[in-house]
Structure 1
Amino acid sequence: MKALVLAGGSGTRLRPITHTSAKQLVPVANKPVLFYGLEAIAEAGITELGLVVGDTHAEIEAAVGDGSAFGLRATYLRQEAPLGLAHGVLIAREFLGDEDFVMYLGDNFIVGGISELVGRFARERPAAQIMLTKVADPRQFGVAELDAEGRVIGLEEKPERPKSDLALVGVYLFSPAVHDAVAELKPSWRGELEITDAIQWLIEAGLRVESSLVSGYWKDTGNVTDMLEVNRLVLESVERSVGGRVDAGSELIGRVVVEPGAVVESSRVVGPAIIGAGALVRDSYVGPFTSIGAACTVTGSEIEYSIVLPRASIAGVGRIEASLIGHDVEVTPAPNTPRAHRLVLGDHSKVQISS
């Protein structure tokens, strides 16, 4: 079995961060969300990886390399535009050959990995196997309709009137039969080749499509709220580790990670939280569910439930909450600050905030 990871989307819901960065590389607990998926693929025993990339290909290729760091062999497949999930399968036809494959959306996060899913597919050999989860607003997702016995009988992409509350999770398993389906597709009303249409083709052709409900946690990290929630979830599982320097005037409470080269001075850090390599936290408070990236500086400030990307600087700010702050951002005081600030800042931003 091979793996096909789609990492070519533009990430419009995470702008302005994704104006300058690939959405799949936005970090969760100081590790790109894409890496969690690659690790899950390797843990399932898969070694051949095809990465569908777009305009951010150089950044993704630099981060993943040849895949050997994950126990994978990576092949890069260029997509000229994000023309749909099924289009990713179409351009990967030569790479995939006649083998079964798992398709994994690079900005999805699934707790528990995919090993059980892959094992079930290998045993039962359906034409396709999908994962479903109940959602509050299925209009934002591909939606599955099941019969009384739980078999998949229909799929729709972002329907105005959903027939169920079961959304497709961004992990799919396919036999080579899907290539015949993809070859027959026409662009949808969105101008894309929809993977839901390909699966529907398989159903109408009389082929077996199996489904399973996600038993663990799943998130599409396509917006700031979901990124912060996944960051919270991952930090819940970290173990305390102090590889950097913490002075006697500082207090670390609970599960705090201070990575090598980081310095914490005259500060209070309440876990779960992570202070990245080479970062400086001085005269500050870092609260729970906060990830401070590598080489960041936080001085005379308070921050909680936030993600700060590498090399950002936060100085003299009263309080920041529920924020995603990009690479090389500068946050400094300005007159008449409110008690708390909620920020979504793109890379290289400069923001003045009163203290």
Structure 2
Amino acid sequence: MKALVLAGGTGSRLRPITHTSAKQLLPVANKPVLFYVLDSLAEAGITDIGIVVGDTADEIRAAVESGGYADRLDLTYIAQTAPLGLAHAVRIARDFLGDDDFVMYLGDNFIVGGITEQVEEFRADRPDARILLTRVPDPTAFGVAELDQDGRLVGLEEKPRKPKSDLALVGVYLFTPAVHEAVRAIEPSDRGELEITHAIQWLIDRNLDVRSATISGYWKDTGNVDDMLEVNRTVLETVEPMVAGDVDESTTIIGRVRIAPGAVVRRSRIVGPAVIGSGVEITGSYVGPFTSVSDGCRIEDSEIEYSIVLPGSSITGVRRVEASLIGRNVEVTPAPRAPAAHRLVLGDHSKVQISS
């Protein structure tokens, strides 16, 4: 069984961060989201993996290789010239996929607990397609599934204005080679994309065996800042405490805090769960819960919590930062204080009182 990982999206909802970086490489607990996807596939016993890449191909490849995945997985990079839909990604990966069953996994999706159980069930029963669903409060932003009274999948809609259910498609799909005929048969949607929901609907309409499973575990599409911070919070809940950096006696460490080797912490208070990367310098500051500080950052005389700070950034002299996603090599400092002044136009014989 093979895997097709989609890592070619533009990440428009995460701009301006994704103007200069691939959204799949944004870190959760100081580890790129894409790495969690690759780990999940390896844990399910899938090591032959095709990665669909776009404009950020070089960055994706460099990160994956530096993470050691090229040594553990059989990786093939597949160029997608434009983001023309998930079914288009299956089309262009035809030579790589051959006649093998495969998992298609969106590279910016996060599933706590992995997909091993779902892969094992697919291998055992081998339907033509198997999709994963989860209940969401606002299904209009997702592909939505309609089930009959017996729980069988009867229809799919892509981002419907009036959803027929609250069951959204999770970004993991399992297919046999039957899907290749489906993606060739469909036409672009009104959005100009080849929708995977249309391909799956094509299979359903021809009475092929398409099954669904509703997952109760944690899933997030990390496509916006709020979701990134929420996933970061969830992962940090599982952090094992470790203090390998240089922490002085006047620093207070509370809760599950992981401080990497090479980090230096002076006269500060760090309350977990939190992770501090290698080469980080923290002085006279407060780092609060659910914060990830990446390698090479500097925090001085500042307060920060429930945030993600990417490598090489500095925060100095800032009283409070929270619920923030700070990019690479960013400098955050206080704004210069404007001199206080009163502008007056006073008539003769006026009396004015001004608080000093």
User: Does residue 133 of the first structure (1) align with residue 134 of the second (2)?
Assistant: yes
Alignment-mate amino acid for residue 83 of structure 1:
L
What aligned pairs does 1:1-355 form with structure 2 within 5 A after superposition?
Answer: 1-65=1-65, 68=69, 71-335=72-336
Distance 1:301-1:147 versus aligned 2 partners, 3 A rule = same
| Structure 1 residue ranges (4+ consecutive) displaced by more than 4 angstroms after TM superposition | none
- Hey, what's the Cα distance between the residues in 2 that align with 1:270 and 1:44? 35
- Could you tell me the TM-score, scaled by structure 1's length? 0.93
**Alpha-carbon displacement from aligned partner over 1:40-61 (angstroms, at most 9, x marks no partner):** 0000001100000000001000
Alpha-carbon distance change, 61 to 209 in structure 1, aligned in 2, over 3 angstroms: same
Q: State the alpha-carbon separation in 2 of the partners of residues 70 and 232 from structure 1.
A: 30
TM-score, normalised relative to structure 2 = 0.93
Secondary structure, counterpart of 1:189 in structure 2: coil
Deviation at 1:72, TM superposition (A): 1.3
Distance 2:314 2:261 in 1: 19
SS of 2:258's equivalent? strand
- The structure number with the bigger radius of gyration is 2
Are the equivalent residues in 2 in contact too, given 1:39–1:70 (CA < 8 A)? Answer: no
- Paired residues, number: 337
Give the AA of the match of 2:23: K
Which segments of 5 or more consecutive residues in structure 1 lack a partner in the other structure?
Answer: 338-355
Counterpart-to-counterpart distance in 2, 1:71 and 1:145: 39
CA distance in 2, matches of 1:150, 1:250: 56
More deviation, 57-66/121-130: 57-66
Deviation at 1:65, TM superposition (A): 2.4
Closer, same or farther: CA 4–328 of 1 in aligned 2, 3 Å = same
Identity of aligned residues (%): 69
How far apart are the structure 1 equivalents of 2:215 and 2:25?
24
Give the Cα separation in 2 of the matches to 1:188 and 1:336. 53
Q: 2:349 corresponds to which residue?
A: none
Q: Distance in 2 between matches of 1:78 and 1:26?
A: 21
C-alpha contact 1:3 1:48 (8 A) present in aligned 2: yes
Q: Over residues 178-225 of structure 1, what are the superposed CA-to-partner deviations in whole Å (9 max), with x where a residue is unaligned?
A: 000001111000000000000000001110111111121000000000
CA distance in 1, matches of 2:270, 2:152: 50
SS of residue in 1 equivalent to 2:168: strand
The two structures, once aligned, show a CA RMSD in angstroms of 1.2
Distance in 2, matches of 1:69 and 1:61, equals: 9
User: How far did residue 71 of structure 1 move?
Assistant: 2.6
> How far apart are the structure 2 equivalents of 1:70 and 1:140?
37
Whichever residue aligns with residue 189 of structure 1, its letter is D
Q: What are the ranges of 5 or more consecutive residues in structure 2 without an aligned counterpart?
A: 339-356
Give the distance between the partners of 1:8 and 1:300, measured in 2 at CA: 39
Deviation per residue, 1:270-324 (Å, 9 max, x gap): 0000111000000000000000010000000000000000000000000001000
